[in-house]
Structure 1
Amino acid sequence: MFSYIVKRLLGMIPTLLLVSVVVFLFVHMLPGDPARLAAGQDADQQTVELMRHELGLDLPMPRQFVRYFQHMMQGDLGTSLRSKRPVTTEIADRFMPTLLLTLTSMVWAVVFGMVIGIVSAVWRNKWPDRLGMTLAVSGISFPAFALGMMLMQVFSVGLGWLPTVGASSWKHYILPSITLGAAVAAVMARFTRASFVEVIQEDFVRTARAKGLSERVVVIKHTLRNAMIPVITMMGLQFGFLLGGSIVVETVFSWPGLGRLLVDAVTQRDYPVIQGLVLLFSFEFIAINLAVDVLYGVINPSIRYK
């Protein structure tokens, strides 16, 4: 197991290198002049050229990338053109609100999604199954921004129960986490149901029932562990999606997280921040995939890594 983890960690290096190249080229293809934005719209051409030299934009593209990569390997992602603060500081200030919102959304989405999926699989083709899958299809089909605005209209504007802006108390997490986790809960429900239906038809499950074991024991002890491996894969992918794809929800609720930071950076052509955030999201997906692979061996000891 240890050697497998070390190999995967070493394998992250070329992946991150490739991502950094793609992100660097993509950012430099965006319209707009970073030097002009950094100097200000009212700056004269001489000031703009001085700013371009300070940012290293007057160097050839390969030298710019080498300089950027060297700084990145030292933990320096550059300075925000908008706030003049280090990009690492900008990201660090916004990371925890996004992480807490993601964890909150993921917890309730996994719990409700798995419960609905298991109930639908056990009572397949009966009314609990139809009701659960109707809710799942509704959760997938309903756009996040529309759900967020509807929840704000009902619970904030209409009833006045919950706040809509900010992240200072637990009440601020309720509406954004429901909005963000609704689609994940729906996906988890459908995926859990499909996995359970497949496993529950296996011979070892029929043998357990033939021994006279209760349905609860059959579902929890014999079916759950074997059905969890593909479900955990989906959980990891969905967690990465939530952590890096909460842009719409954070915009709707004015959430002070990474999604809002990325939107502001793209709007204001803050290239260093865009590069830093995309690299962070890429690293998160790679790390989550590694964690999921390690969990395989914890859930199913028969899996061995070579």
Structure 2
Amino acid sequence: MRRYVLRRLAQAVAVLWAAYTVSFLVLDLLPGDPVSAMAGGGLDQAPLDPAVLARMRHEYGFDQPVWLQYLEYLGRAARGDFGHSVATGRPVTTVIAEALPPTLALTAAALLLAVVFGAGLASYATYTPRRWLRQALLSLPGLGVSLPTFWVGLILVQLLSFRLRLLPAFGNDGLRGLVLPALTLAVPTSALIAQVLAKSLLTALDEPYVETARAKGAGPARIHLRHALRNAALPALTVVGLVVGNLLAGSVVVESVFSRNGLGRATVNAVTVQDIPLVQGVVVFGAAAFVLVNLAVDLIYPLLDPRIVAAGRRSPA
């Protein structure tokens, strides 16, 4: 088990390094620099004096070679220091910490709804004895996966806010203001979870151990929930780990559609003015969240299937 955990930790560190490196290279390829963007009035500021621009470039290290900037920023990032926002002059960690709570609440609510809807749909679709209902329910995930997030958001706003007037359309209005954005993120994600879990359940229900359980007198509900669902949960659990990153990325679109303050809107503003330190901080945070969730999923795997650890012991690597 220890070797399994250490291998996963090493992979997590490699993912974080790759995320930081790729974001640095992509941002470096953008034309101009953050200081020039500010001088052009990116934040409704007056153009700055050339001497001030030169001082700011030197202060942020933009006058150094690219490889030296990379090494310096990487060393700081390894210590948890992402520098200061070029646009506001505040520490990047402070900006992220202030913008994070609404985004975390949105992501957590969307993930909870997606797991409940997806698992419920897959379980009922594979449990019902009515063939026509099963086929109808199993066709829904394919439709849900194909729906763009922004389109789902616009439809929900039109239906639940403008027509029925049940929920607010915009802003951070407490729990009521969280419902529509969370549903917008949850619909495509729940469809993906349902698609994977339903396929795994159908496969598990054809396994010999299910026939053995039936022969011993186990009822359909017991077979479905205790035997088939536990073995079918591994692929769906993998999907849950992967969609966390998609939910964080989707929050950028959703927070823009619903005019919510959060990490998504802060990211859009940072990209607009080429605030490189803030963008890199957000990218690394998103990668860290993705890595931590998948690491937790990897550690849960052996609890559901001890054969994973046993296979790792037999492998040469």
Give the TM-score normalised by the residue count of structure 1: 0.93
Deviations 1:19-44 (A, max 9, x none): 32222121111122222234564123
Range with greater deviation from structure 2 (158-167 or 264-273) = 158-167
- Of 229, 237, 240, 2:242 maps to 237
What's the secondary structure of 1:52's corresponding residue?
helix
Q: Does the 8 Å contact 2:138/2:198 carry over to 1? A: no
Q: d(CA) in 2 for partners of 1:238 and 1:23?
A: 20
Q: d(CA) in 2 for partners of 1:178 and 1:127?
A: 27
Deviations 1:228-256 (A, max 9, x none): 11111111111222123322111101122
What's the secondary structure of 1:84's corresponding residue?
coil
Q: d(CA) in 2 for partners of 1:124 and 1:303?
A: 34
Report the identity percentage.
Answer: 38
Q: d(CA) in 2 for partners of 1:137 and 1:13?
A: 34
CA RMSD of aligned residues (A): 1.9
What's the secondary structure of 1:22's corresponding residue?
helix
Tell me the amino acid that sits aligned with residue 113 of structure 1.
G
Instruction: Please say if 1:116 is aligned against 2:102.
Output: no
The equivalent of 1:170 in structure 2 is: 175
State the Cα distance separating 1:227 from its structure 2 match: 0.8
Deviations 1:168-194 (A, max 9, x none): 411111111111000011111111110
Q: Does the 8 Å contact 1:35/1:55 carry over to 2? A: no
- Of 122, 126, 134, 2:131 maps to 126
Count of residue pairs the alignment pairs up: 306
- Of 272, 276, 282, 2:287 maps to 282
The equivalent of 1:107 in structure 2 is: 112
Trace 1:10-21 onto structure 2 (pairs within 5 A): 10-21=10-21
State the Cα distance separating 1:302 from its structure 2 match: 4.0
The equivalent of 1:259 in structure 2 is: 264
What's the secondary structure of 1:79's corresponding residue?
coil
Trace 1:54-65 onto structure 2 (pairs within 5 A): 54-65=59-70
Q: d(CA) in 1 for partners of 2:67 and 2:2?
A: 37
Cα gap change, 1:40 to 1:79, in 2 (>3 Å): farther
Q: d(CA) in 2 for partners of 1:100 and 1:219?
A: 32
Trace 1:42-191 onto structure 2 (pairs within 5 A): 42-123=47-128, 126-191=131-196
- Mark the runs of 5 or more structure 2 residues left unpaired by the alignment: 42-46
Deviations 1:138-168 (A, max 9, x none): 3222222122112112222222221122224
Tell me the amino acid that sits aligned with residue 221 of structure 2.
R
Q: d(CA) in 1 for partners of 2:206 and 2:102?
A: 43
Q: d(CA) in 2 for partners of 1:13 and 1:296?
A: 20
State the Cα distance separating 1:9 from its structure 2 match: 2.0
Q: Does the 8 Å contact 2:149/2:250 carry over to 1? A: no
State the Cα distance separating 1:216 from its structure 2 match: 0.8
The equivalent of 2:26 in structure 1 is: 26
Cα gap change, 1:237 to 1:29, in 2 (>3 Å): same
Q: Does the 8 Å contact 2:34/2:273 carry over to 1? A: no
Give the TM-score normalised by the residue count of structure 2: 0.90
- Mark the runs of 5 or more structure 1 residues left unpaired by the alignment: none
